[in-house]
Every structure is written in C-alpha cells, then in structure tokens.
Amino acid sequence: MSAPLLWIVFPLVIAVIFWLLQARPTLVIILATVICALLALLAWSVPIASAVKLGPWTFEVGSSLDILGRQFVLNPGDRSFLTLIYGLGAFWFFGTHIAGAHRHFIPIGMAVLALMVAALAVQPFLYAALVVEMAVLLSIPMLVPPGRPVGQGIVRYLIFQTLALPFLLFAGWAAAGVEANPTDARLLLQAVTFLGLGFAFWLAVFPFYTWVPLLSQESHAYETGFMLGLLPSVMLLLMLNFLDNYAWLRAYPLLPVALQLCGALMVVTGGVWSAFQKSLPRLFGYAVIIESGFALLSISLQSEVGFEVFAVSLFPRMLALALWALASSVFEEQGITPDFDGIRGQFRRYPLISSGLVLAYFSLAGLPLLGGFPDRLVLMANLAQVSLPVMLWVLLGNAGFLLSGLRLLATLVSGTQEKWQVNEAWPQAALIVIGAVGLFFIGVFPKFFLSGLLSILQSFNHLY
Amino acid sequence: MIFQQLAIIPVIMLAASSLWVLVSQNWRRSILALAIQYLGVFWLISLSWPVELAIVKLVVGWVTGAVLGASQLPEIAQEGSGRSSQIFRCLAAVFVFILSFTTYPLLATWINTRPEILEGGLILIGMGLLQLGMTTNPLRVILGLLTVLSGFEIIYASVENSVLVTGMLAVVTLGLALVGSYLLNVAVMDEPAEDTP
C-alpha cells in the first residue's frame, strides 16, 4: 500500500464509480462524504513511510508510486494538507443536496480533489502544470451542467487557465537551464518571466482576474465556490514548491517586490471594486481575488513568519469560502435572488443562513474573533515592517471589502417588520452552524486549530 | 531528410491554414483547415523528434478535428459575419505574420533551433491569440486554444522530447476537443431522470 495509491488513485476510481451511480444521488452523497471523511481521518492518523502497528499486524504506507517512469510522492509533511483537502471535501459533498448542486458535482469534484493531490505529488513537479490543466478541463462539465448556456466567464476561465500551461512548461525547461548554468543572467530572466506569467494566469493575478467575478455570477454558487476555494490554494502550494526547489528563484532580488506588488494590486483593486457590488456571486469572486492577494503578500515576506501565515490561513480561508458558497446556494434554492435587493430583510426569515453568510464574509474581511483574523493581524504587522505604504494601501482595499460587508449586513437586517422565524431545514441549519461555529472557534482559539497546519511547511525544507 | 530540406513548406501551410481558421465562416472548412494545420505541426515537430513520435501530434490533431466536427449542431453551425470583418481579420493576420517573421531572431537567441520551427510556432501562437481575442463562440475559442497550444508544442518539441510529456499534452489536446464538443452542445442537452431517494 502506498500513499499516492490511497489518496490519488483510489479517489479517482471512486469518482468513476460515482459517475456511474449518478442516478442515485443520495447514495452518492453519503458515500462521498464518508469516503472523504475516512481519507481525511487516515491522513491525520496514519503516518506515511513509517511502520504502523495495528494489533498483531504491522504495515507501512509507502510514500511513492511509479507511473510511466515518473513518481508520485506524498511525504509525511503532506498529511496536514491531505487532512485539510479531504476534510473540506467531506463538508462540500455533504452539502451537495442542501445547496442544490448538480449531480455532476460529486463525481467531478472527487476527481478534481484527487488530481489536485496528484499535482502536488508528481515528480518532477513541473508536470503539475499538465495535471492541473486536466483538472481544469474536467471541471468544465461541473461548472456548466447540461441545459445551461455557456457564458463569458467559463470561456475566459478556460482560456486563462490553459494559457498558463505553455508558460509553466517553458519555465520548467528554462529553470533546468539555470540549474545547469546559474550565472547566465539572460536564462535567469527568461525563467522568471515565464514562471511569473504562468502563475499570473493560474492565480488570476491582476489584470488577468476578470473571469473570476464573471464565472461566479454565471455558474452555480456551490460548484464555483468549490473550484475557486480549491484551485488558488493548490496553485499557491505549487508556487512554494518552485521556491523550495530553486535557490536561484528564492535569491532573485525582484521576487519579493513583484509578489508584493501583485498581491497589493489584487487586494486594492478587488477591495475597491467589491465596494460597488450588489451581487453576492460577484462579491464572492472579488473575495477570492482578495484572498489570493493576501496569500501572495504573505509569501512575499519570504520569512518564516510569512510562510507560517500562509500555511495557517489556508483552513479559515477555505472554510469561510465554503460557508459563503453554501449560504448563497441555499438562498438561491429558496428562490431568493442572490443580490442586495433579493436578500433585503431575509435575516428574519432565514437567520441561520444569513448569520453564516455574514460570518463567512467578515472572517474573510479579517474581523476580530473570526477565523481570518489571527493570520491577517500577523501579516499586516509584518507587512508594515517591510513597507508601511504597501500595508496602508492593502488596508484601504480591505476597508473597501469590509464596507460592502457592512452594506450586506444592513441589507439583511433592514426592511420588513416581519416576525422572526427559522425557515431553514435541519441539514441546512446543521451544516451552516458547523461552519460558523468552526470559524468562530478558529478565531478565538487559533493556536489549537491552526498549529497543526504548520506541518504543511515540512514538505518545503529550503524556504527559509 | 526531405522534411528538413523543404522545411519552409510547413511554415507556409501553417500560415495559410491558421488564416483560413481565422477567417472562415463555415465550421466544416475551419475544421478542415485545422486538420491541415496539424499536418504542418507534424512536419515541423518531425524536424526535432523521430517521425514515429512526431506522428502522435498528427493523429491527436486529426482526432481532435473529428471530435469537434462530430459535435456540430446545424442550428449553431452558422455564424453570420460581414465582409468587413473578414478583411479586418486578414489585416490583423498579416500583422501577426510580419510580427512573427521579425521577432523570431530574438527568440532564436533564447532557443537554439531551426528558424522554421520558431517561425511556425510564433505564427500559430500569434494567430491563436488573435482568434481568442476576437470571439466568445465556444468552437472558435477551442480552435484558438488548439492553435496556441500547437504553436507552443512546435517550439517546445525542440527543447523537450519526453514521451510522458508528449502523452500528457496529447491528453490535454483531446481534453480540449471534448470540452469544446461539450460546450457546443451543453445548452441543448437534456437531463436524465434521477432515482427517487
């Protein structure tokens, strides 16, 4: 038994089985939730590449799997990420029926999860670009289910993600050249340029992010939320992989400046545009852009604390995006248009969904006592030491995002004098409460919940 | 050997076929042009790789064309567009050709390979990007992406000859064709009934 077999091949096989079982959605939901939870539990409890004693039996989960002469390697340091990705997968899949997601969601979602793990595990890691592209292509039927028109957002998503592929493959070739000849400044510039453009397309860095709000608006909130919650996190981890593997890249003097500029531009422009939005899906898109911006800013610090901030921010970010997508989908399921006019006064009719939405929003905005606050506070403090003007600009962008959150809260509680009532079904209420309480507890006890995530950095030995 | 002596022919083929893909208003002709384009791609890649490996690109390209051709619906196949649009596209394509022929020496300082390979690759990348910038029609977008990827593959083949990368790029190309086919038909697809839980 090897770890890639368990966390990559097995979920892929299961995804195919789920595809064949699509006519029985309830069974698929139960199985997907249980399997993802089990995979998360195994990742959390079973060590990789060391002997495990279970009663009279002793076994070892190997770390590598050979396919066509290439290796897929999952190290002990990857266990936290596996726990996170499959744990959140269980959350997403459990909410499928509640959110009214399409029956394609679970089979494709499961395959996408497995491919994302494969992208992180493949050696040489340059092949990750091809694996991610396959995941992107696979996600299209999930984002545009049968019967829906094809919008501009999905077309741009496909274009931008595909355009990243040539740049990243060329970057890999150029990087190998730099390794062989580190003094060649021209080759170095070439590698950094290709790499920069590849990641700019992948991460929807300014100005390539127009597709994010468009896609959020066109596709189902839950399915878009799944992809937009997962993709940037995995791509940022792949960026860390590049940084970890290439000393010349870490030492490149313009790298922190470029990352800082891109991150700040994403937060500032995303925050300012979000202040003028009235549509919840578009706001969600801007939230994803802002979060990617903050992640880039934390990596730009290029210090131990910066990378730790990045690692611990993954869980609250993904949980908050999941909660937002769930709340937004449930509103849509109830026939409520997901914009400020549609949700006016809905707090009295759907208090739990509304609370979940507001808590997720404010967690992403970095409000105290919520999951996003601890890492945001440390990031801003460290950013101020590096560059106070950049920190102030970032604060301005965050203020724009927060302003829209206050408008959202005011809209939800305003309007009618209707009596308070709880119209949520119990599964909706249960999932929303789990997510909201999770965000609250992360904010209040960050060390207890987030310290485990620091082990994600064990896979990267040369970062700092 | 003959492939190497006549290497300018595939460059002309690529320029003509990519222009045809860009300008043509008929999906059948566009896909025919795509097939010719993949012939040129095969020819140029065979300058860097053994013919038995390079032919993978031709086979995959033709299968891609077949997949796209098989999924065309009559009512969305027609794309109305005026003569002025075609003239504009031709002029833009001429601009791309000029750009490709004038900038390939710069690329040659980075990638040490035959000029025909760089010219052919740059023409396809430029024409593909032009196509992507001018349309939101799923068929045209997929044709644009396939053109860009083909251009990239021509140049990339001169620096990398891994069999696994070839296989994975073939999967991506076929995946794009399948996605294109899906996007062309998705709006009119019916939902199968679900079992009652």
Local confidence pLDDT in tens for the 464 residues of chain A:
788 999 999 999 999 999 999 889 999 999 999 999 999 999 998 888 777 777 778 878 888 888 877 788 988 888 888 999 999 999 999 989 888 888 999 999 999 999 999 999 988 777 899 999 999 999 999 999 888 888 899 999 999 999 999 999 999 888 888 888 888 888 888 889 999 999 999 999 988 999 999 999 999 999 999 999 999 999 999 999 889 888 888 888 889 999 999 999 999 999 999 999 999 999 999 999 999 999 999 999 999 999 999 999 999 999 999 999 999 999 998 889 888 989 988 888 899 999 999 999 999 999 999 999 999 999 999 999 999 999 999 999 999 999 999 999 999 988 767 788 888 888 888 999 999 999 999 999 888 877 888 888 888 888 87
Q: Which of A31, A134, A137 to mutate to test the interface with B (most CBs of B within 10 A)?
A: A137
Partners of A23 on chain B (C-beta within 8 Å) are 192-195
| Inter-chain CB proximity A162 and B186 less than 8 Å | no
Nearest CB neighbour to A130, from listed B145, B148, B172 = B172
What pLDDT is recorded for position B74? 58
| Inter-chain CB proximity B168 and A149 less than 8 Å | no
What pLDDT is recorded for position B79? 53
What pLDDT is recorded for position B98? 94
Nearest CB neighbour to A159, from listed B109, B141, B159 = B141
Q: Count of A–B CB contacts within 8 Å?
A: 103
Partners of B156 on chain A (C-beta within 8 Å) are 166, 169-170, 173
Nearest CB neighbour to B186, from listed A23, A146, A186 = A146
Greater pLDDT, B173 or A463:
B173
Partners of A148 on chain B (C-beta within 8 Å) are 186-187
The CA distance from A436 to A352, in Å, is: 9
Burial class from Cβ neighbours inside 10 Å (0-12, 13-18, 19+) for residue B32 reads middle
Report how far apart, in Å, the C-alpha atoms of A323 and of each of A42, A99, A362, A411, A428 are: 24, 11, 12, 19, 11
| Inter-chain CB proximity A141 and B182 less than 8 Å | yes
Question: The whole model's pTM is what?
Answer: 0.92
Cis amide prior to A213 (ω within 30 degrees): no
Nearest CB neighbour to A144, from listed B172, B186, B193 = B186
Model confidence band, residue B193 (pLDDT cutoffs 50, 70, 90): low
Q: How distant is the Cα of A317 from the closest Cα of chain B, in angstroms?
A: 30
